[in-house]
Amino acid sequence: MEPQLATLTRERFSSPEWVCERKLDGERCLAFAGPEGVRLMSRSKHDITRTFPEIAGAIAAQQPGGLIADGEIVAFEGKQTRFGRLQQRLGVASPGERLLREFPVYYYLFDVLYAEGRDIRPLPLTERKKLLAGTVTFRDPLRCTQDRARDGEAFFTQACRDGWEGLIAKRASAPYLGGRSRDWLKFKCENAQEFVIGGYTDPQRSRVGFGALLLGYHDTDGGLAYAGKVGTGFDTRTLHRLHATLAGLEQDHSPFSRGRIPGQRAVHWVKPRLVGQVAFTEWTTDGQLRHPRFQGLRDDKEPGDVVRELP
C-alpha cells in the first residue's frame, strides 16, 4: 500500500474546499492492525514495529477489528517537532527503558485507509477523518492531527511565526490516492529536502570525523547531480558515528555525473547509499544549496528516489 504524498507549491490560498494541517518533521508511518497483530511500516516499506514498541502497543490496544491508518511519528524539542531528535530512536530495535524515557515519540494520525471492515480510501477526506476520530482513542503516544478549513493563508502565517516547518493543504472532497498528487500540497516555511550523500571532506583544525558532506540528487537521466556540501548541523556524536559509516562505503571515484563537482583534494568519495535531510535558504542559479544545515539521516527513503524538489 503506497502512502499519499504532497506536492511542493508556492501557492498560498484560503478555500472552503481545502483543509490545512501542520507539516510535521518526523518519519511517515502506515499502521496496520488486525487479527495477526500490528505492523508499522515506513514510507520506504521498512518494518519499524520493533523500533517504536510504545506506538505498536497503543495501536494494538485499540482492538479495532481491522485498521490501516496513516500518520507521522515525531519527537519534540520544546514545542517543535525535530527530526534530529527522532534520529536518536531510528534504527534501534527494542529500545531500552532509558531511551524510551529520554526520547519519547508520538504518532500523529491524520488519515485512515481501512476501517469498519472496508476499504475507505475512495471516500472524501472529510468522511475519512470522521471515521478516524470515531475509530481510534487518542491517548499518548497516539495523537490526532488537527486541521483547519478556509483560512489557509492566515494559518500559514501563524505556522511560520510559531516556527513550524509549514502546512499540508488537502482537498476535502478527494479520495486517498497512493503516490504524489496535487490533492495534497506542501506550504513550506523553510526549504528542506532529502539528498544523497556522495562523499565527505577531511576535518579541519579541532573538528572531528569529517568536515562536510557532499550532496546530490538524481536528475532526469538517472545520474547523480552535485548540489553542494553541508558542514553545519552536526554534534560531536553524529560526526563520529557518521564518519564510521561513511568510511565503510568509500570508493575511489566520484558518484556524481554532473554539477560543479569539487576537486579530489581532501575529498573521500562514497557509494551513494545514504540519504540525509538538509534545510537551506534557497537554490543558487548554478544549482547549489545556499546556507545548508544538516538535520539527520533518513532511512525511510531510498537513494534512487531522491530528486530535486521544486514547486
Catalytic residues: 23
Containing H/E element for 271? strand 267-280
Unique residue bearing C-alpha cell 544549482: 287
The enclosing H or E element of 126 equals helix 125-135
Which residue reads 527522532 in cell numbers?
A: 86
CB 168 within 8 A of CB 28: no
Angstrom CA distances, 90 to 46, 80, 93, 200, stand at 11, 18, 8, 22
Bridge partners, 71 (sequence order):
29, 109
Q: Which helix (H) or strand (E) holds 240?
A: helix 236-247
Residues 309/193, Cβ–Cβ less than 8 Å: yes
Residues counted in the chain: 311
Helix (H, G, I), strand (E, B) or coil at 69: strand
Cα–Cα distances in Å, from 21 out to 105, 138, 166, 202, 274? 19, 17, 9, 42, 30
| Contact call for residues 234 and 211 (beta carbons, < 8 A) | no
3-state DSSP helix/strand/coil % of the chain, to nearest 5: 15, 40, 45
State whether residue 76 is helix, strand or coil: strand
Q: Which amino acid is at 95?
A: P
